[in-house]
Amino acid sequence: MRAMILEAPRQPLRLIDLPVPKPNPEQVLIRVHACAVCRTDLHIVDGELTHPKLPLIPGHQIVGTIEAIGDACGKPPEGRLRVDKFTIGQRVGVPWLGHTCDRCRYCLSGRENLCDYAEFTGYNLDGGYAEYTVANYRFCFPLDPSYPDLQAAPLLCGGLIGYRAYRMTGDAEKLGFYGFGSAAHILIQLARYQGRQVFAFTRSGDIEGQKFARQLGATWAGDSDVLPPEPLDAAIIFAPIGKLVPAALRAVAKGGVVVCAGIHMSDIPSFPYEILWEERMLRSVANLTRQDGEEFLALAPRVPIRTEVNSFPLSEANAALDALRSGKFEGSAVLVID
């Protein structure tokens, strides 16, 4: 099979031929059709997330069909979560969370996203920048047939992690989205469906990004270094920029929450206590749970959420990463695997 591999941080991915992987008893073999490109992939390639498996096939927003099934699939050991048994030819999605122990205190308390022994697709485990991949069947999701492969792929991280961050804002009516990329363009559709107002913040002078946000229903769109026209009930920071934390705290009203949705962020500068006071809350999001995935993937077609995609062939994964790094497109980048 063809695969794009990372051999060392801060180096371009290299296209090579590898043997098709063989699934272990709890894995399925998946023929990859599409894999969305995530900012987390950039953090890994750029060396900001340390200690990935090397060499590594990146990619954790995978859409494909099952071609082989391990002997233990559908027969989890006692005490583990049960899922429906998959079938050959079934289309599935593979997210960032690739394996948990099901036994640590986090798993046993419904917080498997914090598992002490978690493994992650495209980081500890080879991912979807390839023609084939293997995945633990318990962490695969059936996909609604209304979504073509390219449109389904961004739902598997931008959608899922974004949804977890979105739920942490509670019943906030006025939401600020700092950074209007893949996750924000998905979650604004859910927010509007639920009758909420979204205030979109982009990098300074990004007129096209602000126009895109307004087209998707943003009440207001402007530069991230200015205050919105009215106080927010909550804000989600999708951009990996620490200086946005004080900006968002200044923008939220008393009792408001600021959620940092990324896996990596530049250092947060010091800020005066007065912008945190009055019961404002600052919290982070780590990974996702399978419950997040099941809830969001059932909700998305009811909205319905539509993803804006920019497609690249597998061999141009480096170009897709560069385009994401420089913010050259709206929506999501997706690799198409022929």
Please write the tens of the pLDDT for every residue from 163-176: 999 999 999 999 99
Cβ atoms within 10 Å of 11's Cβ, excluding its own: 11
Indicate whether 159 pLDDT > 60.
Answer: yes
Q: Which residues contact 23 (CB under 8 A, 6 or more apart)?
A: 29, 68, 69, 70, 134
Question: What is the pLDDT confidence band of residue 73, given thresholds at 50, 70 and 90?
Answer: confident
User: Using an 8 Å Cβ cutoff, are 233 and 253 in contact?
Assistant: yes
pLDDT of 303 above 60: yes
Amino acid identity of residue 62, one-letter, is I
What is the number of alpha carbons within 13 Å of residue 17 lying toward its C-beta?
0
Residue 66, strand partner residues:
30
Flag whether pLDDT at 131 surpasses 60.
yes
Measured CA to CA, the distance from residue 86 to residue 101 in angstroms comes to 21
Say how far apart CA 284 and CA 236 lie, in whole Å: 10
- Written as six digits, the tokens of 287 are 């990974």
Residue 290 has phi, psi (to 5 degrees) of -65, -30
Write out the two tokens for 238: 């999708």
Amino acid at 108: L
Confidence label for 118 from pLDDT (cuts 50, 70 and 90): very high
Instruction: Please give the Cα distance from 70 to 85 (Å, whole number).
Output: 11
pTM of the model: 0.94
C-alpha dihedral over 154, 94, 16, 41, to 10 degrees?
50
Percent of the chain, pLDDT > 70?
97
At 82, the pLDDT band (50, 70, 90 cuts) reads: very low
Confidence of residue 80 (pLDDT cuts 50, 70, 90): very low
Q: Scanning the structure block, which residue is given the tokens 């809830």? A: 295
CA atoms within 13 A on the CB side of 313: 4
